């Protein structure tokens, strides 16, 4: 019995896909018919105008249709073989040539009707095209035009997959199976928003009749994508708010007050407001779900510590999770120094601790003896069990996926409060959209007494002067970082940490130079960070392992080697390691004669201060899709929509999703079931794929 073809059918069973091509398609991530339906063209070529030979214009890419008058193989010197077709119309002739492809002789018969597409060149008084694309037509039963005589889709390819082969396959799919993808939007909604139906959109996005239809198809598909995403976000939010047996915190203000006092800080207005919002969220009976956005150095750690102190004072445990081990260790260092004097026990957990040590920590967490557990994503491992988890803080949340968040959330029966922090500011609409299930606090200002970091982009010739600056700062008792893109130098294209360390240790032989990189054991890393923090090292040569969060206010110079290797956001994070105290700080970027774009970026960076400004610039240079990658929102990768470019559709989708979910929370009304079905399909499939990546 032949199995019925569905969207989930493997492409192996699609006509025209043999075992070999099946493998190639797999490489493009195309496994099922559905994948192929949603594999969209990268661009289009307008080949709708088909000319006769005499109408051809030299230098243009053109489509020409006619009958072949003759063809043949010419053997040339040095064993080259040339196959050539001749098409003569009126007094004009077109030669089409293929080198070393003798099998082409079998493709054309004399008098075949064919359309060629290629660049028109001159050869004496003749036209010629070299290796043109072509499409044969049987005169008696004209096949539909796929590769010519229309607006033609151009797909992303991979090795051993031809544009023509893939296009033909998708054409077959669209022609024969277009009834498989189900309509996801109710008719009334389509009418109201003036959208075409799904089948139209899918056909036209692949094989558009006109550019206007292509535009309509694009809008419909982008809307679909955003709308499903926004519906899920909204449903999650509502569901989260309904789980209202959260852990209401009744007291503990006094402990928080003592913490803030002992920190010695005069909090900024943003810090104060954020702490108020956090505490009042935690007093409520439903779980907090709040994101704190604040630039590098705006002082988010004390906010997290306040929340952790609050939960401990209420008899619960807190977890603080950081994206890197170096940062986790630093947090442990800072936060335990703040909390231990208040009688709150802190513990540390990392992936590669000794089993015995780890076992001990796990046991004390389960007992409730450790009140605040700080660590890396080791915290979401299944073996970690809390006694009474009251609060989870995820620091630098943009480095984690929602998937991981969800996992932490599952760790206890009653959902704990959630606090997320990020230094990557996202324009507001985007933030509201992506983090639709979150409340947001923003810390806009830096703590008082900070001066902007003086930033210079220099070339190698200035190294002496830079070292003189370094020397004078070290002399004053300050510390400095040197960042290199690599651990070990492979060729001479970029500096390695190990080489740089050697060099610096010989230039500054009377200084203590430390080194830090990702291949070191955690205990070694920890020791180096601690030595640097406690001034037993003057100079720290490191890779970007210190990119995020590291806080040593006495360090006032950041030198970045091969700065062209780093993006704006990353440079900003790195620069954020200095300028954390009241002393004047410097950031020096070394980069030799970079390309134009890099030069623009580096000199822009010299002028730029705030992360918000930098985020805007980044958005401009890279586009939103890139910045707000899958990692940040944790939802499936967008297949067609672009969060930056298609902002207007995003806002529309958000409005519609809100209206929908608030009116029919479980999407149970008959017209909405098709939406639910579409979500189920989209999210089930991507969840499966993601799991294999994450696990
Ligand atoms: P980030 O927001 O980047 O995580 P941190 O919490 O690491 O920033 O704070 C940056 C530096 O500023 C730290 O050295 C911290 O101790 C200090 N700091 C934080 N808040 C204040 C404040 N209100 N006044 C003075 N220094 C502060
Ligand atoms: Mg931080």
Regarding the domain delimited by 49-149, which CATH topology (the fold level of the hierarchy) does it fall under?
OB fold (Dihydrolipoamide Acetyltransferase, E2P) (2.40.50)
Q: What percent of the chain has pLDDT over 70?
A: 87
CA–centroid distance, residue 447 to ligand 1 (Å): 7
Tell me what the mean pLDDT of segment 583-609 comes to: 84
Q: Cβ-count burial of 124 within 10 angstroms (0-12 exposed, 13-18 middle, 19+ buried)? A: exposed
**pTM confidence score:** 0.62
Please tell me the predicted confidence (pLDDT) of residue 413: 67
pLDDT score of 352 more than 60? yes
Report the nearest-CA residue for atom 19 of ligand 1. 299
List CB contacts of 129: < 8 A, sequence separation 6 or more. 94, 95, 96, 97, 116, 118, 119, 120, 121
Determine the atom of ligand 1 nearest the C-alpha atom of 263.
16
Q: How far apart are the C-alpha atoms of 315 and 318, rounded to whole Å?
A: 10
pLDDT score of 141 more than 90? no
Same CATH topology for 253-443 and 454-608: the answer is yes
Report the nearest-CA residue for atom 4 of ligand 1. 300
- Ligand 1 pocket, CB under 6 A: 265-268, 271, 294, 296-302, 423, 447, 549, 551, 553, 580
pLDDT score of 686 more than 70? no
Higher pLDDT, 481 or 442: 481
Confidence of residue 631 (pLDDT cuts 50, 70, 90): very low
CA–centroid distance, residue 446 to ligand 1 (Å): 8
Q: Cβ-count burial of 59 within 10 angstroms (0-12 exposed, 13-18 middle, 19+ buried)? A: exposed
Please tell me the predicted confidence (pLDDT) of residue 635: 53
pLDDT score of 633 more than 60? no
Determine the atom of ligand 1 nearest the C-alpha atom of 267.
23
User: Nearest bound ligand to CA 334?
Assistant: 1
Enumerate the domain spans of the chain. 1-46+166-176, 49-149, 211-243+638-693, 253-443, 454-608
Report the nearest-CA residue for atom 10 of ligand 1. 297
How far, rounded to the nearest angstrom, does the alpha carbon of residue 442 sit from its chain's CA centroid? 22
Give the environment of ion ligand 2: residues with CB less than 5 A: 549
Q: How far apart are the C-alpha atoms of 624 and 622, rounded to whole Å?
A: 7
Q: Which of 262, 275, 297, 304 is the pocket-test mutation for ligand 1 (most atoms within 8 Å of CB)?
A: 297
Q: How far apart are the C-alpha atoms of 591 and 585, rounded to whole Å?
A: 20
Please tell me the predicted confidence (pLDDT) of residue 438: 75
pLDDT score of 657 more than 80? yes
Confidence of residue 612 (pLDDT cuts 50, 70, 90): low
List CB contacts of 411: < 8 A, sequence separation 6 or more. 380, 384, 385, 386, 389
Average pLDDT, the chain: 86
Q: How far apart are the C-alpha atoms of 65 and 52, rounded to whole Å?
A: 6
> In 81-156, which ranges are E strands?
81-89, 92-99, 113-119, 121-123, 126-130, 133-137, 151-154
Determine the atom of ligand 1 nearest the C-alpha atom of 302.
6
Determine the atom of ligand 1 nearest the C-alpha atom of 553.
14
* H or E element at residue 402: helix 402-409
Interval 91-133: pLDDT, tens: 999 999 999 888 888 888 878 889 999 999 998 899 999 999 9
Interval 392-449: pLDDT, tens: 999 977 666 544 555 555 555 678 899 999 887 666 556 666 666 678 888 888 888 7
3-state class percentages of the chain: helix first, strand second, coil last, to nearest 5: 45, 20, 35
CA–centroid distance, residue 611 to ligand 2 (Å): 14
Determine the atom of ligand 1 nearest the C-alpha atom of 301.
6
Tokens encoding 657: 């999703």
User: Nearest bound ligand to CA 267?
Assistant: 1
Choose which CATH entry (1.10.1200.10, 3.90.1010.10, 3.10.20.80, 3.40.50.300) describes domain 253-443.
3.40.50.300
Interval 334-344: pLDDT, tens: 999 999 999 99
150-154, 246-250, 540-544: segment of lowest average pLDDT: 246-250
Tell me the CATH class for 454-608. Answer: alpha beta
CA–centroid distance, residue 268 to ligand 1 (Å): 10
Please tell me the predicted confidence (pLDDT) of residue 630: 41
Report the nearest-CA residue for atom 5 of ligand 1. 299
Which whole-number Å values give the CA distances from 653 to 232, 433, 458, in the listed order? 12, 10, 47
CA–centroid distance, residue 297 to ligand 1 (Å): 5
CA–centroid distance, residue 301 to ligand 1 (Å): 7
Q: What percent of the chain has pLDDT over 90?
A: 53
3-state secondary structure of 123: strand
Interval 508-565: pLDDT, tens: 999 999 999 989 988 888 899 889 999 999 999 999 887 666 789 999 999 999 999 8
List CB contacts of 54: < 8 A, sequence separation 6 or more. 89, 90, 91, 92
Answer whether 184's CB lies under 8 Å from 674's CB.
yes
Please tell me the predicted confidence (pLDDT) of residue 613: 67
User: Nearest bound ligand to CA 305?
Assistant: 1
Residue of 593, 607, 609 whose CA lies nearest to 458: 593
CA–centroid distance, residue 446 to ligand 2 (Å): 13
247-251, 483-487, 497-501, 638-642: segment of lowest average pLDDT: 638-642
* H or E element at residue 432: helix 428-434
Please tell me the predicted confidence (pLDDT) of residue 243: 61
Tokens encoding 658: 């809100």
User: Nearest bound ligand to CA 444?
Assistant: 1
CA–centroid distance, residue 220 to ligand 2 (Å): 41
Tell me what the mean pLDDT of segment 164-170 comes to: 93
Higher pLDDT, 691 or 243: 243
User: Nearest bound ligand to CA 303?
Assistant: 1
């Amino acid at each position: 019995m032949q199995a019925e073809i569905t969207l989930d059918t493997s492409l192996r069973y699609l006509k025209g896909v043999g075992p070999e091509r099946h493998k190639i398609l797999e490489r493009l991530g195309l496994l099922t018919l559905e994948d192929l339906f949603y594999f969209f063209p990268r661009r289009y070529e307008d080949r709708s105008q088909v000319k006769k030979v005499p109408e051809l214009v030299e230098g243009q890419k053109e489509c020409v249709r006619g009958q072949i008058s003759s063809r043949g193989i010419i053997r040339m010197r040095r064993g080259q073989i040339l196959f050539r077709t001749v098409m003569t119309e009126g007094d004009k002739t077109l030669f089409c040539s293929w080198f070393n492809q003798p099998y082409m002789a079998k493709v054309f018969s004399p008098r075949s009707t064919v359309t060629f597409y290629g660049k028109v060149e001159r050869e004496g008084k003749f036209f010629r095209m070299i290796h043109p694309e072509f499409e044969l037509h049987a005169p008696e039963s004209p096949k539909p035009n796929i590769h010519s005589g229309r607006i033609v889709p151009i797909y992303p390819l991979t090795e051993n997959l031809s544009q023509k082969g893939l296009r033909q396959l998708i054409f077959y799919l669209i022609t024969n199976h277009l009834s498989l993808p189900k309509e996801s939007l109710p008719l009334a909604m389509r009418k109201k928003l003036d959208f075409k139906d799904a089948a139209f959109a899918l056909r036209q996005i692949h094989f558009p009749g006109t550019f206007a239809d292509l535009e309509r198809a694009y809008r419909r598909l982008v809307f679909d994508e955003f709308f499903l995403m926004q519906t899920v976000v909204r449903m999650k939010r509502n569901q989260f708010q309904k789980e209202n047996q959260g852990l209401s915190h009744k007291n503990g203000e006094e402990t928080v007050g003592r913490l803030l006092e002992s920190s010695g800080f005069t909090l900024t207005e943003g810090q104060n407001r954020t702490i108020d919002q956090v505490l009042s969220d935690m007093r409520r009976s439903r779980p907090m779900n709040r994101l704190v956005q604040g630039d590098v150095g705006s002082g988010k750690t004390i906010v997290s510590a306040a929340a952790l102190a609050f939960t401990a004072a209420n008899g619960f445990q807190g977890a603080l999770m950081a994206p890197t081990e170096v940062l986790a260790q630093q947090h442990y260092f800072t936060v335990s120094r703040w909390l231990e004097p208040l009688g709150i026990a802190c513990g540390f957990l990392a992936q590669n601790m000794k089993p015995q040590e780890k076992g001990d920590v796990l046991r004390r967490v389960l007992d409730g003896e450790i009140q605040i557990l700080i660590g890396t994503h080791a915290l979401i491992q299944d073996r970690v069990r809390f006694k009474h988890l009251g609060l989870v803080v995820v620091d630098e949340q943009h480095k984690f996926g929602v998937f991981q968040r969800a996992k932490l959330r599952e760790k206890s029966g009653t959902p704990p409060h959630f606090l997320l922090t990020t230094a990557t500011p996202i324009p507001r609409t985007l933030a509201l959209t992506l983090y639709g299930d979150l409340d947001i606090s923003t810390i806009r200002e830096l703590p008082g007494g900070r001066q902007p970091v003086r930033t210079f982009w220099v070339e190698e010739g200035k190294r002496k002067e830079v070292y003189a600056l370094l020397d004078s700062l070290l002399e004053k008792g300050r510390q400095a970082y040197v960042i290199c893109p690599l651990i070990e130098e492979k060729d001479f294209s970029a500096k390695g940490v190990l080489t740089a360390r050697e060099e610096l240790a010989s230039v500054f032989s009377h200084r203590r130079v430390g080194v830090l990189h990702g291949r070191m054991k955690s205990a070694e890393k920890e020791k180096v960070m601690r030595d640097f923090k406690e001034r037993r090292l003057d100079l720290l040569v490191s890779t970007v392992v210190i990119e995020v969060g590291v806080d040593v206010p006495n360090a006032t110079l950041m030198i970045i080697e091969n700065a062209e290797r780093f993006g704006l956001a990353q440079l900003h994070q790195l620069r954020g390691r200095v300028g954390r105290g009241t002393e004047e700080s410097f950031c020096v970027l070394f980069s030799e004669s970079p390309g134009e774009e890099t030069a623009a970026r580096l000199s822009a960076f010299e002028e730029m201060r705030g992360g918000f400004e930098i985020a805007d610039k980044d958005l401009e240079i890279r586009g939103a899709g890139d910045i707000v990658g899958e990692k940040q929102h944790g939802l499936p990768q967008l297949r067609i929509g672009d969060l930056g470019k298609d902002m207007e559709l995003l806002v529309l989708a958000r409005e519609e999703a809100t209206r929908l979910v608030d009116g029919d929370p479980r999407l149970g009304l008959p017209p909405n079931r098709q939406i639910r079905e579409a979500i189920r399909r989209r999210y089930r499939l991507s969840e499966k794929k993601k799991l294999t990546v994450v696990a």
